[in-house]
Structure 1
Amino acid sequence: MEFNSFNFHPNIAAGISAAGYSTPTPIQAQAMPPVMLGRDVMGLAQTGTGKTAAFVLPMLQRLLQGERGKVRALIVAPTRELAEQINETVIALGKQTGLRSMTVYGGVSINPQIQKLRRGVEIVVACPGRLLDHIQQRTINLSQVEVLVLDEADRMFDMGFLPDIRKIVKRLSTKRQTLLFSATMPKEILKLAQEVLTNPETVQVDMIAPPQTVSHALYPVAQHLKTDLLLHLLKQTSTESVLVFTRTKHRAKRLGEKLSKVGYKAASLQGNLSQNRRQAALNGFRDGSVQILVATDIAARGIDVSQISHVVNFDIPDTPEAYIHRIGRTGRAARTGEAFTMIAGEDTQMVRAIERTLGKQILRHTLSDFDYSAAAPPKEAQATRPPKSFKSSKPTGGKGPRSEGAGGAARTYNKPASRRRPQSARPTSVVRGH
């Protein structure tokens, strides 16, 4: 199957050709036909499978006919970075259509967004929090929306956005086409799908299949030696672009600063940065001026860089699915990649879960010229974990603190102090490799 078999309008076909697309990916080949027929679709696919084009191309085809200057398509995404990436795809594929699009998210001034909405756009790519701000201020009119896309629905659930999604959906006409895309299908997302989709077509592609082009390695190490081990690995490994994942914003910032101090072209991508600095870090990683990007899971949504040679899990992820998402950032576009994961004593259970998902045991590696017996400096053991004022980034099931794009929204909700459980210190230990 080729893209020309879909009979796209010549102006859209020109965008497809300019983007270098020739053969549709599996999610595109399966999702586009029902979307072009106007059906509601529930698509299950990982990040990096080409699902953005799967909903953007049929959307552009539909919007070519009809009134201009009204918001006729709404795409809702969990983070600023992903919203920007989607909008870039819309602009690239629809360059010759005359259709206008914009992003709407928090962390930046609302006034330029209001001005652009007043001038008129047909497609809005939005994060939930800021979109609700516009709705409440009556600066956006969603009454003419014909197509609603909920992208990365499982991540929006993790971030606690489902109540906001329901509020947004209530503002839309029931006579619309709705597309929901998710990498996983927890029961809460299935319930949401049942609420917002009408007789949907379900398209499922490689739900949690790991990339075949990525090799895996585990590096057992004590918590306080992780930074030293990372520096050691970087010195002896031939790398291109390296993406390092941490559990918290605090640790991403600190590790990025450490790497910069020792001479690496490094930056961090986390929610405490201004939007301009976040975009600068992402642009630098894309153009190669930043070699190492340290990011949290949520902030990393929207990173689409084909030349990433290594993914390093400085902290092990919370779920096997998150591990698959992380390592899927390398080994793309027919290239090979490597995934290094540092593990401490408390990570044993998650390692086993990841190995079950992969269907094989991951080799443990120890470096002969690294001192694993070095004692932690005073207070270092406590410093490896975030201060009490920081919350864990473990998925909250929609009930815990949430923020747009890992810290950028105006809304943040926390449990009352009386309901919070005290944090208990967990011992760290060295896991010996084999």
Structure 2
Amino acid sequence: MKFNKLPLEEPVLKGVQDLGFLYPTPIQEQAIPSVLNHRDLLGLAETGTGKTAAFLIPILQFITNSPNNKVSGLVLVPTRELAQQVYQDAQALNKYCGLKIVSIYGGVGKFPQTKQLKSGVDLIIGCPGRILDHMRDKTLQIKDLKYLVLDEADTMCDMGFLPDVNKIISETPTSKQTLLFSATMPEPIRKLTKNILKDPVTIQLGNLTSAATVAHTAFPVPSGLKKDLLLHLLDKTPTGKVVIFTRTKYKAKQLARDLSKEDYKVTSLQGNLSQSQRTNAMNGFRKGKYDLLVATDIAAHGIDVSEVTHVINFDFPGTTDDYTHRVGRTGRAKQSGQAFSLITPEDKQLFNQTKKKLDIEIPLESFKDFDYGIFNPSTFNDPIKRNSQTQSGETKPKKPPHFYRKSAGNKYRKDVNGYRRSRSSSSGEKMKTHTSSNNYKRRVRPKSKSKV
């Protein structure tokens, strides 16, 4: 079915066609007619499926047909980057509608936002914290709101925004139409949907796991060699744009700095950056100034760049939901992508839990030409041997040796322990030697010019 077969009116349809869209994605094809029929909606789909247009298109059509110079629509998102992305998408679709659309989020001054709100607004895309600030300041009234969208509701839950979201919802009329989108369904989101959705249409694509267009691979490595293996992986793997995830802001900043010293075009996206720095980082990554983006989980939810070919988990994510959101940065818009994870022995439990919960296979691979030291990646999935004394009176085996290795770009030393010199090769999974895809050009770091 083409977009011109959907019940869309000319201003909205022309905006869609100007963007070069002929066929709706599955979630758009199912959601748009339901929303236009004034039904509440629960959309359960992984990222990169086109869900943003699935709620923007019908809402823009509704507001265009009945403008009232009041806030008619409100889209709540968890992060500033996602607010910017949704705002840009809305403005592109708004080309022939002529609506007043603003983005409201923290990290920037409130006065320009207040000035925009006072001049009259039709649709707001914003983050819960700053939206509440304006409501408390009486610069934003939503008592006449007609359309409410909660995008990436599970992420808002993870970030602790649900109390703010509930306060905002309490100020809206009960007659509004509500749309909720989520990639996963933790228990707080299940309760929220029961409280705010009225007889909703439920659309679920897949099993709430990562997109089928993403291939998963894991590389066992000791903690102290993770950066060296990352450099080896980048050097050996042809890629397009790459997003590298760390667990902390400090590590994202440090890793980006280390990669820059290796002559990679890299930037970081993490919470310690000012809003202008975050915007410059995203724009530079999107426009090709940077090939690599090192990011934390929270900062990365606004990354919507279709050219991302690889996601690398430098630190394995702490939850299954985080894994889903991370790998969702690639394989978007039906394009193929690859998700690489560097996994240490300490990650083994999380790694196995993630595979089981998402019901996916993540094969283990290694490099023949990489020096792993005393660590043997082929024994990563071997059963753990207990050190307790046996009934036959055997004594505890000696503790495994410790060794220290100084990372090239760091001034600290990491203790790497728990590796046995020999283990039985009874692993359930066979270790593969990593071979790169030929779909992308191999990134070759420029050689430094010799000084005369």
Normalization by structure 2: what TM-score? 0.82
Q: CA deviation at 1:131?
A: 0.8
- Separation in 2, partners of 1:266, 1:429: 33
In structure 2, what is the Cα distance between the partners aligned to 1:354 and 1:162? 25
Q: Residues 27-38 of structure 1 correspond to what in structure 2 (within 5 A)?
A: 27-38=27-38
Counterpart of 2:238? 238
Task: In structure 1, give the amino acid aligned to 2:347.
Answer: D
Structure-2 change in CA distance of 1:111 and 1:428 (3 Å): farther
Match of 2:277 in 1: 277
> Quick one: which amino acid aligns to residue 223 of structure 2?
Q
CA distance in 1, matches of 2:167, 2:364: 47
Q: Does 1:348 align with 2:348?
A: yes
Partner of 1:88: 88
Cα pair 1:222 1:429 within 8 Å, conserved: no
The whole-number CA distance in structure 2 between the counterparts of 1:92 and 1:277 is 24
The structure showing larger relative contact order (alpha-carbon pairs under 8 Å, at least 6 residues apart) is 1
Distance apart, 1:7 and its partner CA: 2.5
Question: Is 1:159 the counterpart of 2:150 in the alignment?
Answer: no
CA distance in 1, matches of 2:20, 2:371: 48
Q: Structure 2 vs 1, CA of residues 172 and 332 (structure 1 numbering), >3 Å: closer, same or farther?
A: closer
| 1:218 correspondence with 2:218 | yes
> Over residues 370-401 of structure 1, what are the superposed CA-to-partner deviations in whole Å (9 max), with x where a residue is unaligned?
222283239x999689xxxxxxxxxxxxxxxx
What's the secondary structure of 1:375's corresponding residue? strand
Contact 1:75-1:126 within 8 A present in 2 as well: yes
> What is residue 403 of structure 1 aligned with on the other side?
none
CA–CA separation in structure 1 for the residues paired with 2:187 and 2:413: 34
The SS at the match of 1:124 is: strand
Name the CA distance, whole Å, in 1 between partners of 2:191 and 2:134: 27
The CA deviation at 1:185 is 1.2
Deviations 1:10-53 (A, max 9, x none): 11111110112111111111111221111111111111111111
2: CA distance, partners of 1:185 / 1:335: 25
- What is the number of residues matched between the two proteins? 393
Q: Secondary structure at the match of 2:405?
A: coil
In the TM superposition, what is the alpha-carbon distance from 1:357 to its structure 2 partner?
Answer: 4.6
Cα gap change, 1:260 to 1:427, in 2 (>3 Å): closer
Q: Is 1:248 aligned with 2:226?
A: no
Does the 8 Å CA contact 1:68/1:121 hold for their aligned counterparts? Answer: no
**Sequence identity of aligned pairs in percent?**
47
Q: 3-state DSSP class of the match of 1:301? A: helix
Q: Residue 325 of structure 1 aligns to which amino acid in structure 2?
A: H
Structure 2 residue 72 is the aligned partner of structure 1 residue 102: no
The residue type equivalent to 1:137 in the other structure is D
Q: Is the 8 A contact 2:241 2:291 kept in 1?
A: yes
Look up the match of 1:375.
404
Q: Which amino acid aligns with 1:71?
A: V
Distance 1:175 1:284 in 2: 42
Kept in 1: contact 2:226–2:342 (CA 8 A): yes
Q: Aligned residue for 1:324?
A: 324
Find the aligned partners of 1:320 and 1:86 in 2 and give their Cα distance: 25
CA distance in 1 between partners of 2:175 and 2:360 (Å) = 47
Cα 1:337/1:116, change in 2 over 3 Å: same
For residue 290 of structure 1, give the secondary structure of its aligned residue in structure 2. coil
1:15 corresponds to 2:15: yes
Assess, with a 3 A threshold, how the Cα gap between structure 1 residues 331 and 40 changes in structure 2: closer, same or farther: closer
- Using a 3 Å threshold, how does the CA distance of structure 1 residues 383 and 88 change in structure 2: closer, same or farther? farther
For residue 272 of structure 1, what is the amino acid of its counterpart? N
> Deviation per CA, 1:259-300, whole angstroms, max 9, x where unpaired?
112211100001110011101111111111110000111211
Tell me the equivalent position of 2:205: 205
Distance in 1 separating the partners of 2:293 and 2:417: 26
Rounded to whole Å, the distance in 1 between the matches of 2:324 and 2:9 is 36
- Asked if 2 retains the 8 angstrom alpha-carbon contact of 1:85 and 1:302, the reply is yes
Q: Which amino acid aligns with 2:8?
A: F
Call closer, same or farther: CA 1:296–1:220 in 2, change over 3 Å: same
CA distance in 2 between partners of 1:231 and 1:191 (Å): 44
1:192 corresponds to 2:221: no
CA pair 163-375 structure 1, distance change in 2 beyond 3 A: same
Q: Give the structure 2 partner of residue 147 of structure 1.
A: 147
> Do the aligned partners of 1:330 and 1:337 also contact (CA within 8 Å) in 2?
yes
Distance 2:366 2:418 in 1: 15
The aligned residue for residue 301 of structure 1 is 301
Amino acid of the structure 1 residue aligned with 2:289: S
Alignment partners' CA distance in 2, 1:321 and 1:135: 31
Amino acid at match of 1:196: I
CA contact (8 A) 2:11 2:96 kept: yes
Is 1:344–1:430's contact at 8 Å kept on the other side of the alignment? no
Amino acid at match of 2:354: I
Alpha-carbon distance between aligned partners in 2 of 1:17 and 1:306, rounded to the nearest angstrom: 19
1:337 aligns with 2:334: no
Unaligned runs of 5+ in 1: 386-425
Is 1:112 the counterpart of 2:112 in the alignment? yes
CA contact (8 A) 2:406 2:412 kept: no
**Deviating more after overlay: 189-198 vs 55-64:** 189-198
Change in 2 beyond 3 A, CA 1:114/1:383: farther
User: Helix, strand or coil: the match of 2:404?
Assistant: coil
Partner of 1:415: none
TM norm structure 1: 0.85
Q: Is residue 92 of structure 2 the alignment partner of residue 73 of structure 1?
A: no
